[in-house]
Structure 1
Amino acid sequence: MRKSICLIFALLISLNAQIAVKGEVIHTMAGEQITNGVILIRDGKIAAIGTTKEVIIPKECQVLSAKVVTPGLIDARSVVGLGGMLNQSQDQDQLERSAPMQPELRAIDAYNSLDPLVKWIRQLGVTTVNTGHAPGMLMSGQTMVVKTHGTVVDKAVMKTTQMIAVTLGDSGLMPKGSPGTRGKAVAMLRGEFVRIQNQINAREQAQAASKEDEKNVAKSTQPRNIRDEILERVLNREVPLLVYAHRHYDILSALRLAKEFNIEIVLDGASEAYLLVNEIKEAGVSVIVHPSMSRTFGEKQNMSMENASILQKAGIRIAMQSGYESYVPKTRVVLFEAAIAAAYGLGFDNALKAITIDAAKILGIDARVGSLEVGKDADIALYDGDPFEYTSHCTAVIIDGKIVSSESH
Structure 2
Amino acid sequence: MRFRSSLLRRLTLLLALLVGGLLPGLVQAQHAVRADTLYTMTGDGPIVDGVVLIEGSTISEVGPASEVDVPSGATVHEATVVTPGLIDPRSTVGVSGLENVPANQDQLDTSAPIQPALRAIDAYNPREDLVKFVRQLGITTVHTGHAPGALVSGQTATFSTTGGTVAEALHDSLTTVAFTLGPDAQQRFESPGTRSKGVAMLRQKLLDARAAMDDEGPTTDLGQAMLQKVLRGEVPALITAHRAHDIQAALRLQEEFGFEMILDGASEAYLVVDEIKEAGVPVILHPTMTRPSGTTQNAAFTTAATLHEAGVPVAIQSGWEPYVPKTRIVLYEAAIAVANGLPRRAGLASITSTPAQILGLDDVGTLAPGQTADLALFDGDPFEYTTHTCTVLDDGRVVSDECK
TM over 0.5: yes
Q: Deviations over 1:222-271 (max 9, x none)?
A: 54221121111000111111111111000000000000000111111100
Equivalent in the alignment of 2:240: 244
Equivalent in the alignment of 1:290: 286
Within a 5 Å distance, the mapping from 1:220-369 to structure 2 comes to 222-365=218-361, 367-369=362-364
Note if contact 1:13-1:47 (Cα within 8 Å) is conserved in structure 2: no
Q: CA deviation at 1:322?
A: 0.3
Q: CA deviation at 1:15?
A: 5.2
**TM-score (norm. length: structure 2):** 0.92
Equivalent in the alignment of 2:123: 110
Q: 1:353 to 1:223 in 2, by over 3 A?
A: closer
Q: Deviations over 1:363-399 (max 9, x none)?
A: 111x201110000000000000000101111110001
CA RMSD of aligned residues (A): 1.4
Does residue 85 of structure 2 align to residue 90 of structure 1?
A: no
Match of 2:153 among 127, 140, 163: 140
* Cα separation, 2, equivalents of 1:199 and 1:229: 9
Note if contact 2:162-2:399 (Cα within 8 Å) is conserved in structure 1: yes
Q: 1:310 to 1:13 in 2, by over 3 A?
A: farther
Equivalent in the alignment of 2:41: 29
Percent of paired sites with the same residue: 50
Q: Secondary structure at the match of 1:129?
A: strand
Equivalent in the alignment of 1:130: 143
Which shifted more, 321-330 or 82-91? 321-330
Equivalent in the alignment of 1:392: 387
Amino acid at match of 1:97: T
Q: CA deviation at 1:197?
A: 1.1
Q: CA deviation at 1:331?
A: 1.2
Does residue 132 of structure 2 align to residue 119 of structure 1?
A: yes
Note if contact 1:73-1:126 (Cα within 8 Å) is conserved in structure 2: yes
Q: CA deviation at 1:328?
A: 4.5
Q: CA deviation at 1:289?
A: 0.6
Structure 1 gaps of 5+ residues are: 1-8, 204-217
Note if contact 1:14-1:58 (Cα within 8 Å) is conserved in structure 2: no
Q: CA deviation at 1:155?
A: 1.7
The number of aligned residues is 381
Note if contact 2:379-2:389 (Cα within 8 Å) is conserved in structure 1: yes
* Cα separation, 1, equivalents of 2:186 and 2:321: 16
Q: Which of the pair has more CA radius of gyration?
A: 1
Q: Deviations over 1:64-95 (max 9, x none)?
A: 11010000000000000011111211110000
Which shifted more, 276-285 or 15-24? 15-24
Q: CA deviation at 1:127?
A: 0.5
* Cα separation, 2, equivalents of 1:111 and 1:263: 27
Amino acid at match of 2:374: D
Q: Secondary structure at the match of 2:393?
A: strand
Amino acid at match of 2:33: V
Q: Deviations over 1:329-354 (max 9, x none)?
A: 43100000000000000021110010
Note if contact 1:380-1:397 (Cα within 8 Å) is conserved in structure 2: yes
Amino acid at match of 2:364: V
Note if contact 2:96-2:326 (Cα within 8 Å) is conserved in structure 1: no
Q: Secondary structure at the match of 1:242?
A: strand
Match of 1:18 among 5, 18, 30: 30
Equivalent in the alignment of 1:375: 370
Amino acid at match of 2:384: E
Higher helix share: 1
Amino acid at match of 2:254: A
Match of 1:180 among 186, 193, 202: 193
* Cα separation, 2, equivalents of 1:14 and 1:46: 17
**TM-score (norm. length: structure 1):** 0.91
Q: Secondary structure at the match of 1:100?
A: coil
Q: Deviations over 1:17-59 (max 9, x none)?
A: 1111111110001112111111110120000111112111112
Q: Deviations over 1:98-150 (max 9, x none)?
A: 00010110111101111111111111100001100001111000110110001
